[in-house]
Structure 1
Amino acid sequence: GHPIGASGGAMITELVLQLRGQAGPRQVQGAKTALLHNAGIGGVNVMVFKR
């Protein structure tokens, strides 16, 4: 289990780090677009981030 909302916040943080080139050993080289999909209790979110 995890706190409600915490997973989505962590995902957004990771996407921003990737697009900034600051993700360290997890870095996807040349990342320009990021897609986030998160489903929870009755809710689904999709976000697209572009550099």
Structure 2
Amino acid sequence: MGHDSLSKANQHIVPADDPRRRPRDCYKMQVWKLQEKPSDVNLALDLYDDA
């Protein structure tokens, strides 16, 4: 049995006008982190292999 995981995380935001800027020099923003159920991923990979 798999499970969904939804949690808050902090992500460095690199500006589009300066893509070479190092992430550690950019500001952070709080984002939602969503992880898929392992059972869904396994099913998708099995279907891919069968095709």
| Greater length-normalized contact order (CA 8 Å, ≥ 6 residues apart) | 2
Taking structure 1 as the reference length, what is the TM-score of the superposition?
Answer: 0.31
Bigger CA radius of gyration: 2
Taking structure 2 as the reference length, what is the TM-score of the superposition?
Answer: 0.31
